[in-house]
Amino acid sequence: MMTKTNAVLRSTVDTPKMRTAVLQAALHTLGRRTLTVDFEHGQWWVTSPGTGAQWSVVDCQTAAGVDYFGFEQVSQGEEE
């Protein structure tokens, strides 16, 4: 008999703790000094205030099963 799991994607959780985790991951991954994170439309978004570039946050997993955040750029923004 198969059992169902109600796995919740971390990128769809709106809590202060998750906001911090998303921001820390974005700062490390995107290599920018200033970023903002916002939870809208059921997911996290990362924006570079200096350029307007924006990324959507996605859940990823390595082959070894380690969870991490990925960032899909949705707008380029302007050069600083």
- pLDDT tens, position by position, 3-46: 555 677 888 889 999 999 999 999 999 988 899 999 999 999 99
1 falls in which pLDDT band (50, 70, 90)? very low
Between 1 and 35, the more confident residue is: 35
Q: What is the dihedral of CA 35, 22, 72, 56, to 10 degrees?
A: -80
Q: Whole-model pTM?
A: 0.82
End-to-end CA distance of the chain: 57
| The two three-digit tokens of residue 27, written as one number | 């700062």
Q: Is the pLDDT of residue 75 over 90?
A: yes
